[in-house]
Structure 1
Amino acid sequence: MSEVSLFESSLLSPEVQAALPAGYTLRALRSSDYERGFLKVLEVLTEVGNHTKEQYLEQFNYLLNHNDQYYTITITDDSKNVVVAAGTILVERKFVHKNGLVGHIEDIAVDKNQQGKKLGLRIIQALKFIGAQRGCYKVILDCSEKNIPFYEKCGFKHKEYEMAWYVGADAQAKL
């Protein structure tokens, strides 16, 4: 099977690529990134689970079939041919703001051995660029309190509060 990119490279910021350390590449998630450790990078965030290659490809193909909504990007260390950072912007269609679009940033992850190289900042900048290119009127994200200073450096402002309801234990107790 040939390597497939999740979306066209015209949505990637040339400024972000130029700001990366030498030997690192910004690009859309690819069908072959299972082998490059994409899921391992996400493990810095939360439990990922043991995906088979087929399960990875099933999810990749779903995103590919909805590539006007899902934009997952990676930064690779080209010398090692591995994914070292990743993030996603999900573009939501709204009725408000004249059927406007909102970008939701999710799953920002940088390999623990690659931190300190501003790769997280570059992922955020690249996702904001995609949101702007797609015509979003705003780009938002949820984060832990300890990460607020980082996202403020990325140009975000603290607004509102996040609420969560987890299906499972919460669902059984309080439907």
Structure 2
Amino acid sequence: MSGGEKQTFKIRRLDISDKTKGYIELLSQLTVAGSLTDEEFDQRFKEITSYGDDHLICVIEDVSSGKIAATGSVMIEKKFLRNCGKAGHIEDVVVDTEFRGKHLGKQVVEFLMEHCRAMGCYKVMLDCSLENKGFYEKCGLVNKAIQMSKYL
């Protein structure tokens, strides 16, 4: 980018065209994403969007390049607890190495938290590594538990 250009970012829901804008490659910076055919991507996209507002994936696009710079997702869990309350589960937050240091991760988390607020969630939670704990604390989250996992 030349000195006179200003970088502009747009946060929005994932669109089916984002596969061609580096979305899967971005996820690969977080964990193993694998290679998806266009058909596999389209099928999963349609499945996720069929859940409506209960599963939201957001992206931040670098408008000048059309590249996906950051992403994150949230799933809304409907409970019997808390008078049939709802809890948000944030997952898969990642910022492309090229765009780090521009507060895009914080924008993703805030966007997802606002979605949870609008959906009437009484809490939002996420799992993170110890290395990322400080980042999420800056986003207003507090350490409440220990994560336990068993990979199948």
Query: Do these two structures clear the TM 0.5 threshold for a shared fold by scoring above it?
Result: yes
1:114 positional shift: 0.5
RMSD of aligned alpha carbons: 1.0
Residue 160 in structure 1 maps to residue 149 in structure 2: no
Alignment of 1:77-156 (within 5 A): 77-156=62-141
Aligned-partner residue type, residue 163 of structure 1: M
* Counterpart contact for 2:7–2:63, Cα < 8 Å: no
Partner SS state of residue 21, structure 2 = coil
Partner SS state of residue 58, structure 2 = strand
Alignment of 1:45-64 (within 5 A): 45-64=30-49
CA distance in 2, matches of 1:80, 1:54: 25
The number of residue pairs the alignment matches comes to: 147
Q: Which runs of structure 1 show a deviation greater than 3 angstroms over 4 or more consecutive aligned residues?
A: none
The answer for unaligned runs of 5 or more in structure 1 is: 1-20, 168-175
1:72 positional shift: 0.3
Partner SS state of residue 156, structure 1 = coil
Identical aligned pairs, as a percentage? 36
